[in-house]
Chains A and B, each alone.
Chain A
Amino acid sequence: MLLQFVAGLMATIGYALIFNQPRRHLAATGLAGAAGWILYLYAVSLGTGEAFSCFLSAFLVTVLSQLFARLLKDPVMIFCIPGIMPIVPGAAMYRTMRAFIEHDMAQAAAAGYSAITMAAAIALGLLAASSLAHILTAVRHTFFRRPL
């Protein structure tokens, strides 16, 4: 698990480097990405489906990104983009492609299905967390009249 955490951390920082992320945010982004990856692995090991694990993980990454964005005063997407990369279904897509080459259509359909649902789940996780942040901000604005 520790090895996986370090791998997730370094992979996220790797994306941050090729996307030319502001230097001062490298640690925060790496943490968000690694936390997302560990949550994904943990959820899968508990028997949660791949897609739902992706949803949870994307949700966590986006919530952390929103938090860091407010603490460090920079746009959310700066943290979010490298952060979600570890859970992008690269392996599932690769398995789909491999199965196609080997003319194993049943396997290709199964892997393709999991790749598509995982991608959709990531999109939903992003969407849910962003909407939640939006609602919370709106509530704070309307009821407490405190600008965030």
Chain B
Amino acid sequence: MNVDEKRVLFLALKAGELLLKSGAETARVESTTTRICRSCGVNDADVFVMPTGLFLTVNSENSQTAVQSYIKRIRGSRTDLERISQLNALSRQLEEKSITLEEAEIRVEQIGHEMQFPFLIRLAGAMMIAGCFTIMFNGSLMDFFCSLLVGALTYLFQIKLAVRLQLNWFVETFLCCSFATAMALIFTRFHLGDNFDPIIIGSLMIFFPGVAITNAVRDILAGDTVSGVSRAADAILTALSIAMGAAVVLQIYSGMGGVL
């Protein structure tokens, strides 16, 4: 296998890994990786993608060299729609030959590192989610402001504490939701909010597995049943850990004599 072919493969592998980690659906990862290979002249490439790993095999046109396979284990993901958009655009530019292989390699490296929104804007996003859902579930104006505060604290807790501890996602979600519920109960206790139900719902909505649900449906529809079912299981388990996180705190609260 010549060096150039190897570079194409590593480019495709890197792009596929980034896509999968950013929460792209299986079919998109597969089509983008093969598109990158084909547009760089590696025609006989096949890829198999699962939420936890990526397999890429190429057969060189030179019959002397062996068939090459690459396996990439994927761990942990964070939804990043901007990355999906950029990698998708990149693969199409490669297809149209409007950028070279070198430029593409540099771009993929950049896409892997850059972060569009700074932390404060994402924090504002979390506050908007918490506050708006409180209104959507009939919270009062007091509840809205209280919910903004609880949402901000919970998101801070998640990013600054829970993620750094490198817990598995089940425990992470559980802890964050317990924290959100505890904060909502404490704030309503001190009359910062009228009613804790809408406040808790608002803050828990930050953790809802919307990406997993959407991708599960899209995967199953595209015929990637294995990925689809595992994403659906992911969604169900996340929902359970959200409910358990809140339930434990509410149970303790009522055990201590609080009125639910």
Contacts and interface: CB of A to CB of B under 8 A. Distances in A.
B85 A78 contact: yes
A97 B132 CA distance: 22
A17 B210 contact: no
- Give the residue among B80, B136, B218 with the most A Cβ atoms within 10 A: B136
B121 interface: yes
A20 B116 contact: yes
B188 to A, nearest CB: 15
A88 B238 CA distance: 14
Contact of B260 (A78, A88, A101, A131): A101
A22 B136 contact: no
A94 B246 contact: yes
A17 B81 contact: no
Contact of B205 (A3, A90, A96, A122): A90
Interface stretch (B58-66, B68-76, B98-106, B123-131): B123-131
B201 A122 contact: no
User: Is the interface on chain B under 10, 10 to 19, 20 to 34, or 35 or more residues?
Assistant: 35 or more
A14 B128 contact: yes
A75 interface: yes
Given A3-B135, A123-B213, A123-B217, A75 B28 contact: yes
The 7 closest A-B pairs by CB, nearest first: A17-B125, A14-B128, A11-B132, A14-B129, A7-B132, A7-B135, A18-B125
Contacts, number: 154
B129 A77 contact: no
A90 B158 CA distance: 19
B122 interface: yes
Interface of B: 23-25, 28, 79-85, 88-89, 115-117, 121-122, 124-129, 131-133, 135-137, 155, 197, 200-201, 204-206, 208, 210-211, 213-218, 221, 239, 242-243, 246-247, 250-251, 254, 260
B132 A14 contact: yes
19 contacts: A4-B135, A7-B132, A7-B135, A10-B131, A13-B125, A13-B128, A14-B124, A14-B125, A14-B128, A15-B125, A16-B125, A17-B125, A18-B122, A77-B84, A85-B129, A88-B213, A91-B201, A101-B251, A127-B217
Contacts of A82: 81, 210
Given A17-B126, A80-B214, A84-B213, 8 more contacts: A11-B205, A19-B211, A20-B82, A22-B81, A75-B28, A88-B213, A122-B213, A126-B214
